[in-house]
Amino acid sequence: MRPVLEREENELSDYEAVLGVGKALGMGDALKGWETPKDCFKLMTECTRNMPCDMTGITWEALENSHGIQWPYPEGQEEKLSAEERRLYEDGHFFTPSGRVKFMFEEVMENPLPTTEEYPFILNTGRGSVGQWHTQSRTREVKFVEDVSSKKAYLYMNPELAAEHDIKEMDEIRVYSANGQDAVFHVKITENVRYKELYAPIHYMECNKLTPSIYDKYSKEPSYKATPIRFEKCE
């Protein structure tokens, strides 16, 4: 990434900070070739050589003031590819032994965490606002974002479900997850969620504390979008 602002006295870039940790750990020669962001970029492009995403023809300097360079962009083909808009597989060749596409499918899996009598509701998770980013890792210290964002974790609940449990707008509830963890949320009442489903933004630790530790068997992506829960109103 190119810097946007001039650094002030005693400021380090993220890259320098991480590199400094490596030096402090005594990594020595293992850090050769990683001294600058440009060095790191060169190593990254080399990792793509002869791969479907080959970008060995892209240089650090060529990216300066560009609108981006589309890959694949193998070294030695720069002149041929410079003006082309390219898409993988448009030539009909796929990276399989036969060169042909291979479709793989199987029966739809059962939900590994269905609702139960003990945990009869579903907690869905997702983005909560345009200002907050993920777990606030990039926005927690941005004053404008903080000024317009809730300081405490909250979730959305259907009006009918709220009425059944005598829950009013901004009441606190404790949510118990099937993963054995629990957390406290303020309640915002809305018809935008279904009767037996609640929705919490991912930008708060309380939300992520409740998601299950199960993974997709192919991609290994964690299941952080939904989990069975129960809840009770806080006194």
Q: Residues with Cβ < 8 Å from 16, sequence gap 6 or more?
A: none
pLDDT digits (tens, 9 = 90+) for 38-81: 999 999 999 999 988 899 999 999 888 888 888 888 898 877 77
Q: What confidence score (pLDDT) does residue 134 get?
A: 78
Q: What confidence score (pLDDT) does residue 83 get?
A: 59
Q: What confidence score (pLDDT) does residue 21 get?
A: 97
Of 91, 149, 155, residue with least CA distance to 126: 155
Which of 95-109, 169-183, 213-227 ranks highest by mean pLDDT? Answer: 169-183
149: left (phi over 0), alpha (psi -120 to 50) or beta: beta
Stretch 98-121: mean pLDDT: 92
Q: What is the reported pTM?
A: 0.66
Mean pLDDT estimate for the chain: 90
Q: What confidence score (pLDDT) does residue 24 get?
A: 97
Q: Residues with Cβ < 8 Å from 131, sequence gap 6 or more?
A: 139, 142, 144, 145, 148, 149
* Whether the predicted pLDDT of 26 surpasses 70: yes
pLDDT digits (tens, 9 = 90+) for 71-99: 888 898 877 776 566 677 888 889 889 99
What is the 3 state secondary structure string of the chain? CCCCCCCCCCCCCHHHHHHHHHHHCCCHHHHCCCCCHHHHHHHHHHHCCCCCCCCCCCCHHHHCCCCCCCCCCCCCCHHHHCCCCCCCCCCCCCCCCCCCCCCCCCCCCCCCCCCCCCCCEEEEEECCCCCCCCCCCCCCCCHHHHHHCCCCCEEEECHHHHHHCCCCCCCEEEEEECCCCEEEEEEEECCCCCCCEEEEECCCHHHHHCCCCCECCCCCCECCCEEEEEEEECC
* Whether the predicted pLDDT of 215 surpasses 70: yes
CA 15 to the chain's CA centroid: 20
Q: Out of 106-120, 139-153, 190-204, 213-227, which region has the weakest mean confidence (pLDDT)?
A: 139-153
Q: Are 145 and 180 in contact (CB under 8 A)?
A: no
How many other β-carbons are positioned within 10 Å of the β-carbon of residue 218?
Answer: 7
Q: What confidence score (pLDDT) does residue 142 get?
A: 79
Confidence category of residue 146, pLDDT binned at 50, 70, 90: confident
CA distance 11 to 144: 23
Percent of the chain predicted with pLDDT > 90: 60
Q: Which residue has the higher pLDDT, 21 or 219?
A: 21
Q: What confidence score (pLDDT) does residue 231 get?
A: 98
CA distance 72 to 230: 49
